[in-house]
Chain A
């Protein structure tokens, strides 16, 4: 059984992002980039499924600039068998990525796609769902536990009220939530082996996908600065201020 794991190159979660002077976007110049943490969880899950004999091959795929190669090497250092880079300098939005992934799925015929539930840069939380729609496959999102018993996958999902367990028929798209697993540290031998694993490079044209953005970013702004707090005299004062000043109750 083959598992496909899309991985995205994003601003490292430790970086405090800056806005470009023209407010058009986040400034990515000279900023540390790394793999989207939810995608790391997805790769870890796929590799564990391979290690327990459930899966036979794990393929990592990334779409974006040439440096996404580094992200694919990271995925292969964790244990993915090979990588596919869909190289483009065009800004990629979730629908475009889902279409690219569909083209890869058509070719690779995976039984399961495990995505991160969302990317920490745009927080769109759409790609996995759109891919399932385009493939006409079932989807189980926000997984905190995955049990495969082909041709079914049983997925425990994190929902507002608690946990929900669903069963989907494979092939299916699953998306990984934070508590699905704790990704391992890549070992030094595996980092070195990753260098020699196959990495195929393609592009949107070759896959026949139009990735032109459908959405236009009007403006990117910093969150409003927090103003200093105040002390309230008593509970009645607090309630009054919540009503009249904060207007939240």
Chain B
């Protein structure tokens, strides 16, 4: 059985050499993140992920969270692991020091989160949702709400949830029907049912803080009439201690394809006397608040894609080294060899390795830009970085998670028939990875966000700037010797051209023929993901080659150049085909009459 080993070496490379921790650590508020501290944090997080979280992944999948009498019991071991997780301070890593957080940059938090997700996707969702709820309260909560909730949530003593979805309000939140009735004391009583509430109930923490979207009686129809409320499982007394049980119950949990240990709750608010809640921010601005933290949540889910690529790769690689089958191809009567020697298995492993590294590089670079967007002293720099982050969030979310599914599927394929058998563990990665392409907005939603809000609305300006940065690497590539860089340069050039022409087409056609532009939205998201991931692999190869030229003998660098070459030949090469589907393919998407389906 393959044990998860956190890819600390590649993480360090990306953090220090590619994403520029040194620059991030110079930002006001990020000074703590010195190189040696970050390495120490990565080492300890790796230990925790490998020794505590990873061993619970398979049993958690088999046992699943259990629901009985309106309460959820977590699989064995989860409660203790969560306590150790919170006691060790991991919940507080990126939170603000004012509320007991450590204030480490997102660049560091991203790597640590990737470890939790690779080690145990289902477990990692609890701190992810809590972090989202913390962010919403920090940004929009009153001082009183902050004082009541934040410290307990940052320390992990209480966990958080996001209650958006209802049976008839999924991707379309305008349809939210949950009611909030104002009370004389300024509180509200909440009535309604929410579904798909991740960690809506569990036994790992003493209280659960639900953030709930609901409508007040006077609210206008549609998205402009939704407000955000905080509704705790247990009410909180004036002295901060826990009071009465609130009328917010988990009435069932879903039976799902994967993430079995993560309880997906159906929540009933106000079935008895009304669930007591408090308004967050102002009335009717709930959706706007949710979107503030949606970016953070989408980035977090994108990391799940990176984590799925890495975990599937490790398991497939370990199996391919052990599994002996057939002689070397072209050799008759020779010894039987491990399947890692067979060219097609190598092709699959290289695909998985290169796509994991590309997705990681892109995600961490976006994390570093987020740090600059928040902390940079210069307003222009903040704005420029924020535009880059906004453009890339749907890509990190959509492309990385779709990669996660494809790579997890490839991981099953490397195992052959044994991969289809649950005991091997490869199947769980595939089952778990699928959800990341769906929640926090499906890939289709991400792609529409990308081409509409992030491109068409600004005439493709940020995309043009990114393409400019990509083209600027050509001179460096031209100066390199050897077949690897010649291939990388040529593939990268063609891919950038494909991205540029498809991008221009989308921007030009979005206004006039939005249905045609939208037909190419997901292919465009894939195209941008592939080329942006390739951009980071090209940068990585140049940095690695510079190290090699300076006499560094670490085999990691030589492997990085080879991996970037593979990525160029096998992944970047898909760019031109995607561009052509986007530009010429809308007709085929839309032509068939509905009744012919």
B37 touches A185 (CB 8 A): no
The answer to whether residues A192 and B32 also contact, given A29-B553, A185-B88, A187-B88 and a CB cut-off of 8 A, is yes
Complex Cα gap A209–B407 (Å): 57
B102 touches A (CB below 8 Å): yes
Complex Cα gap A185–B90 (Å): 11
Pick the residue among A32, A69, A73, A188 that contacts B90 (CB under 8 A).
A188
Beta-carbon contacts under 8 Å, B19-54 to A: 32, 34, 36-37, 39-41, 43-44, 47-48, 52
B555 surroundings in chain A (CB, below 8 A)? 30
A189 touches B52 (CB 8 A): no
A69 surroundings in chain B (CB, below 8 A)? 36
B41 touches A188 (CB 8 A): yes
Beta-carbon contacts under 8 Å, B100-158 to A: 102
Cβ distance A75 to chain B, nearest Cβ, rounded Å: 12
B89 touches A (CB below 8 Å): yes
Q: Which residue of B lies closest to A191 (CB)?
A: B40
A189 surroundings in chain B (CB, below 8 A)? 89, 92, 102
B556 touches A (CB below 8 Å): yes
B584 touches A (CB below 8 Å): no
A185 touches B36 (CB 8 A): no
B44 touches A195 (CB 8 A): no
Pick the residue among B40, B47, B90 that contacts A70 (CB under 8 A).
B40
Cβ distance B579 to chain A, nearest Cβ, rounded Å: 40
A118 touches B (CB below 8 Å): no
B92 surroundings in chain A (CB, below 8 A)? 188-189
A175 touches B (CB below 8 Å): no
A30 touches B44 (CB 8 A): no
A191 surroundings in chain B (CB, below 8 A)? 37, 40-41, 44
A30 touches B554 (CB 8 A): yes
Beta-carbon contacts under 8 Å, B78-99 to A: 84, 87-90, 92-93
B89 surroundings in chain A (CB, below 8 A)? 187-190
B39 surroundings in chain A (CB, below 8 A)? 70
A141 touches B (CB below 8 Å): no
A14 surroundings in chain B (CB, below 8 A)? 5
Interface majority SS (helix, strand, loop, mixed), chain B? helix
Cβ distance B122 to chain A, nearest Cβ, rounded Å: 21
A19 touches B (CB below 8 Å): no
The answer to whether residues A185 and B47 also contact, given A30-B554, A30-B555, A191-B40 and a CB cut-off of 8 A, is yes
Cβ distance A125 to chain B, nearest Cβ, rounded Å: 26
B40 touches A77 (CB 8 A): yes
Complex Cα gap A74–B553 (Å): 27
A194 touches B (CB below 8 Å): yes
A188 touches B556 (CB 8 A): no
B36 touches A195 (CB 8 A): yes
Complex Cα gap A32–B43 (Å): 10
B52 touches A185 (CB 8 A): yes
B34 surroundings in chain A (CB, below 8 A)? 195
The size of the chain A interface, using a CB distance under 8 A, is 20
A185 surroundings in chain B (CB, below 8 A)? 44, 47-48, 52, 84, 88
Q: Mark B38-81, 1 if CB is under 8 A from A, else 0.
A: 01110110011000100000000000000000000000000000
Q: Mark B554-574, 1 if CB is under 8 A from A, else 0.
A: 111000000000000000000
B553 surroundings in chain A (CB, below 8 A)? 29-30
A192 surroundings in chain B (CB, below 8 A)? 32, 37, 102
A186 touches B (CB below 8 Å): yes
Cβ distance B550 to chain A, nearest Cβ, rounded Å: 15
A32 surroundings in chain B (CB, below 8 A)? 8
Q: Which of A32, A73, A192, A194 lies at the interface centre, i.e. has the most chain B CB atoms within 10 A of its CB?
A: A192
Q: Which residue of B lies closest to A30 (CB)?
A: B554
A29 surroundings in chain B (CB, below 8 A)? 553-554
Cβ distance A219 to chain B, nearest Cβ, rounded Å: 23
Q: Mark A59-71, 1 if CB is under 8 A from B, else 0.
A: 0000000000110
A187 touches B40 (CB 8 A): no
B90 touches A195 (CB 8 A): no
Q: Which of B32, B37, B41, B88 lies at the interface centre, i.e. has the most chain A CB atoms within 10 A of its CB?
A: B88
Pick the residue among A73, A74, A77, A187 that contacts B87 (CB under 8 A).
A187
Complex Cα gap A69–B34 (Å): 15
Beta-carbon contacts under 8 Å, A162-189 to B: 185-189
Pick the residue among B36, B37, B90, B556 that contacts A30 (CB under 8 A).
B556
Beta-carbon contacts under 8 Å, A182-219 to B: 185-192, 194-195
The answer to whether residues A188 and B32 also contact, given A74-B40, A195-B37 and a CB cut-off of 8 A, is no
B36 surroundings in chain A (CB, below 8 A)? 69-70, 73, 195
B88 surroundings in chain A (CB, below 8 A)? 185-188
Complex Cα gap A185–B554 (Å): 30
Beta-carbon contacts under 8 Å, B512-556 to A: 553-556
A194 touches B40 (CB 8 A): yes
Complex Cα gap A188–B32 (Å): 13
A186 touches B37 (CB 8 A): no
Q: Which of A14, A77, A191, A195 lies at the interface centre, i.e. has the most chain B CB atoms within 10 A of its CB?
A: A191
B90 surroundings in chain A (CB, below 8 A)? 188
Cβ distance A99 to chain B, nearest Cβ, rounded Å: 29
Q: Which of A14, A30, A32, A194 lies at the interface centre, i.e. has the most chain B CB atoms within 10 A of its CB?
A: A30
Interface of B toward A, CB cutoff 8 Å: 5, 8, 32, 34, 36-37, 39-41, 43-44, 47-48, 52, 84, 87-90, 92-93, 102, 553-556
- What are 5 A-B pairs with beta-carbon distances under 8 A? A30-B554, A74-B40, A185-B84, A189-B102, A192-B32
Known: A70-B36, A185-B88, A188-B41. 13 other contacts (CB 8 A): A14-B5, A29-B553, A30-B555, A70-B39, A77-B40, A187-B89, A188-B44, A188-B93, A189-B89, A191-B40, A192-B32, A195-B34, A195-B37
Top 7 closest pairs, chain A to chain B, by CB: A188-B89, A30-B554, A187-B88, A187-B89, A189-B89, A186-B44, A191-B40
